[in-house]
Chains A and B, each alone.
Chain A
Amino acid sequence: MSVIIDQRDDSSVLPLLNNIGPYNEVPEEYEAEEAAVALSTTKVLVIGAGGLGCEILKNLALTGFKDIHVIDMDTIDVSNLNRQFLFRPKDVGKSKAEVAAKFIEERIGDKDLKISPYFGKIQDKPLSYYKQFGVVICGLDSVEARRWINATLVSLVDTELNNLIPMIDGGTEGFRGQSRVILPTLMSCYECTLDLITPQTTYPVCTIANTPRLPEHCIEWASVLEWPKMFPGRKFDADDPEQVEWMYQTALARANEFNIEGVTKSLTLGVVKNIIPAIASTNAIIAASCCNEAFKIITNINPILNNYMMYSGDDSIFTYTYAHARRANCPVCGNFAKTFTAQNWWTLERFIEEISSKQEVQMSQPSLTAASRFLYLRNPPHLEESTRPNLSKKLNTLIRGGDELVITDPNLPISLKLTVEFTGPETEPDDVNSSLM
């Protein structure tokens, strides 16, 4: 007996659409049929086809979404197989987006379900591409990509709130994770909460160079100081076993010299790749929470998360749901400039160093413009050349206290406004020089 089926039974979803529950916020306007049409016609964009992405694609496909797009620039690695369940050992090296899309289409076996993969960067796509979606769900491990898509979605919204595309963002680490809903320009955006992100562990250079105590210090010494010395101009590739072995041996030799225990290959990899522990269970929880919110947004069947849920499973189970407030001086969705206090003796170069490392700025290649002039631009080359001399000048000779600066970075579609105030002595204080390194 062979039955030809071109669709999955929708009995698991229908009861959700057909009845209005007591918490439905728009019971007068709600129509089950409209909700069903919205589910099957809304275009959903999934950014990331990794641990969260695999889960998100599965969840969307099993809850009635039919037009799903997925972007990922990565290829499949062996260490993905402990959680990215759409991939098999034979897929190692192939595009995550393409393999995931094909797997889901085959498994669901529904002729109306279309999953369109794109193997590349989100920055490759024009604004017009993003306008077509009804909701964007992010399962990313990169802060930069999240900032980019967040700023892009905020920039799409016009004064009449056209093109308002909800962004749902998930993230996990070990047994913990968080999911959040962003209605661009109406709710706190990703940039508003940039200071919530735990900064990556860094070690002072003088510790690494002179007084190592931890195995991590020895690994950092090998990667930050020794690698560039031994292989100038060559970027370290953590996926090349020979290079990893060199790094490990170099760190180990350093550790032995100082009688420091604990340098292992696994720790070496963890430090140089900044590896975050990850398991399928946590990805499942967070991805499902994100997709539940997407389902509610598109169908209007129940209220949506306002706007942040933290989950932690390592010490019993704990969730914390709260509305994160918008930041008035958010560079992406706010209107007001931030104030930053600079020392009178700072050069422009020193000023750039100080602001780039600030938690709420986090720009690696900032360009600075004052109201009337360019202070320092990275591009194009002729402007870089003409503004470079400013770097060694004192900032208070270039602008006055109360002036507003605009800071941009080629990696982010953001312009950060900063009002600068000056304080402190005109010359660099002496005792700062007597460094104790």
Chain B
Amino acid sequence: MLIDKETRYDRQLRLWATTGQSNLESSHICLINASSTGSEILKNLVLPGIGEFTIIDHRYVSSRDLSGNFFLKHRDLGKGLAEAISVNLNELNTDVKGHSINRNIRAILEEESPEFWDTYNVVIVSEYISGLDILKEILWKKRIPLLIVNTVGFYGSLNLIANEITVIETHDPSRLYDLRIDKPWPELQQFVDSIDLDALDDTDHAHIPYIVIYIKALDSWKQDHNNQAPQNYNEKKQFRKYIESLSRNINLEANFIEASNSIHRALQKTEIPNSIQKLFEKVNILDENLTSSTPIFWIYIKALKRFVELNNYQLPLPGKLPDMASDTTNYVKLQTLYREKAKRDQELFTAEVIRILNALGRSKDEISNESITSFCKNSQLLFVTQGSKKLYTSTLVQELLDNTNESNKENFNTLGIYFSILTFNLFTEKYRRAPSLKDLEFFKMLFIEEFMVSPPVPSAIEATFKETLSHNTRSYHNLSSLMGGVVSQEVLKLATAQYTPLDNLFVFDGVRSISEKWKI
């Protein structure tokens, strides 16, 4: 049966569109450890059509593996674990290329050159592996994001280790619109001036879009207030009253009712957000630091900095309008004005980008119209973060101990879950087996030594240790599936280069059904 992709992927294309989908289809994900959680992660990536995946595991399928893993069949017993899961997952979507490597990760790390990892866009480690520190170093240098996921019993944790993450299409959930009411450009001002509210008949008057009303109202307000927009709560209230007074009947004119309700749009200041201002101050965009290998994102930031210097410290106009009460003609006219200005801004921005690329001897083939448009539309909402390759810091340990004092009465500590999982892996490394409740004293000692905590272990932390050790299964399927879903969401965000990823530690507590996150 021939199935067109647009229909098959319809429900996800509505989230990340064809640009996100083609990024996804050109991504290669590597999973180390063919665990139940790992299989669930890949299931959620194979279904939406990730390009390729590779599973690294040297073990053979045992009946224990079958217990919590849906992507193993009885007849797989005795086969290579990585290969069996890879084949079963591939049934979900034949467009995806599944690979398996039946080798010990430790051996790969010792025998292969770092270039071995170049083919992967994201690497996932599920549960404990030997040689994690070596892998972390390699991927950090190569700027390949590494996700480390762990589940024990009802608990789960996820670390996202990435040198730097930059996102252009963040899909701003705050629904900010940049309307430039306070700083209309000449064409917009001309359009507003061409409308004489008093000369309109009642029907037309009730259909003038609020952008026009705001710009006119703000103009005359400023004339009466030393050229200042409304400053404080009181003035803003007065300004709203003034807008309402411009209406012929504020109970009936839908456009003025809307204008009064959306007053924050009129008072929104056209300025460069702090988060973007900070990017302009980064040393990596100083002229002397730009090179032939500077990521295109930072070239864009450099160009953006020049753009605002040449354009009254205003960012490129996104050009998008919200719906508003209006007749069709005026709305479409406004829409055209905003779009044309956005297009002009994009052209000026492109010129800056090309100028920088030329100076670096780089080709302008590195950029496309789509990526420029997307960057300009999102230039207020860019997400940039610098990560850490550490699994914990002394600050985090301090926070763990501080939390404990406060929540002692309740006898739980969510950060304690994370340290419990870290200690669980340490124990596994040291004794070559998973700890159980009878190992509690060793477990506590290991924790005290590793994280340099002075004994005794606070009772809230000890309680999380006990919970972890009593229910020490690493393949309780509900937790595997839940954490698998969380990790795959993060991979989708990284692979499509859309939406804001985790930054950078997440812990889920399936006993209390809550989660928390931290930045290491």
Contact = CB atoms under 8 A, between A and B. Distances in A.
A16 interface: yes
Interface in B404-423: 411-412
B166 to A, nearest CB: 15
A316 B489 contact: no
Contact of A259 (B70, B252, B332, B463): B332
Contact of B48 (A55, A269, A279): A279
B182 interface: no
A111 to B, nearest CB: 12
Contact of B481 (A89, A174, A179, A284): A284
Interface string A282-308: 111111110111010000011111000
Interface stretch (B211-219, B231-239, B262-270, B501-509): B501-509
Nearest to A321: B514
A304 B503 CA distance: 29
A400 interface: no
Interface string A45-77: 000000000010011001100000000000000
A179 B332 CA distance: 42
Contacts of B482: 284-285, 288-289, 292
A313 B488 CA distance: 11
Contacts of A179: 513
Interface string B20-37: 000000000000000010
Contact of A285 (B9, B463, B486): B486
B323 interface: yes
Nearest to B332: A259
A329 B170 CA distance: 41
A59 B67 contact: no
A303 B512 contact: yes
Given A10-B67, A213-B332, A79 B171 contact: no
Given A62-B70, A211-B326, A213-B326, A21 B11 contact: no
Which of A8, A23, A109, A321 lies at the interface centre, i.e. has the most chain B CB atoms within 10 A of its CB?
Answer: A23
Interface stretch (B124-132, B135-143, B302-310, B464-472): B464-472
Nearest to A276: B11
Contacts of B488: 280-281, 284
A233 interface: no
Interface residues of B, number: 94
Interface stretch (B39-47, B52-60, B441-449): B39-47
Contacts of A22: 411, 463, 466-467, 470
B210 interface: no
Given A22-B463, A278-B12, A284 B485 contact: yes
Given A11-B64, A13-B67, A175-B499, A21 B12 contact: no
Contacts of B484: 284
B514 A21 contact: no
A16 B67 CA distance: 14
A198 interface: no
Which of B66, B326, B489, B493 lies at the interface centre, i.e. has the most chain A CB atoms within 10 A of its CB?
Answer: B489
B328 A258 contact: yes
Contact of A282 (B66, B324, B485, B510): B485
A199 interface: no
Contacts of B466: 21-22
Contact of B10 (A266, A281, A302, A305): A266
Contacts, number: 259
Contact of B171 (A58, A211, A282, A314): A314
Contacts of A286: 485
Contact of B77 (A3, A15, A175): A3
B376 interface: no
Given A3-B77, A5-B74, A289 B486 contact: no
B323 A11 contact: no
Main secondary structure of the interface of A (DSSP, over half): loop
A406 B400 CA distance: 55
A281 B16 CA distance: 14
A224 interface: no
B375 interface: no
Contacts of A62: 67-70, 477
A55 B481 contact: yes
A8 B412 contact: no
Contacts of A82: 8-12, 47-49
Contact of A81 (B8, B473, B486, B512): B8
B446 to A, nearest CB: 19
A270 B6 CA distance: 13
A301 B471 CA distance: 10
B329 to A, nearest CB: 8
Interface string A1-38: 00101001111111110011111000000000000000
Contacts of B499: 175, 313-315
Contacts of B73: 107, 109
Which of A12, A81, A89 lies at the interface centre, i.e. has the most chain B CB atoms within 10 A of its CB?
Answer: A12
A260 B329 CA distance: 10
A88 B484 CA distance: 22
7 contacts: A12-B475, A78-B8, A277-B14, A284-B482, A285-B482, A317-B515, A436-B252
Given A107-B70, A260-B328, 6 more contacts: A9-B67, A59-B477, A62-B68, A277-B14, A288-B480, A316-B503
Interface of B: 1, 3, 6-15, 36, 40, 43-44, 47-49, 63-64, 66-70, 73-74, 77, 91-93, 153-154, 170-171, 173, 202-203, 206-207, 249, 251-254, 323-324, 326-328, 331-332, 411-412, 436-437, 463, 466-467, 470-473, 475-482, 484-486, 488-490, 492-493, 499-503, 506, 508, 510-515, 517
The list of the 8 closest CB pairs from A to B, nearest first, reads A284-B485, A12-B68, A285-B485, A288-B482, A19-B470, A288-B481, A12-B67, A62-B477
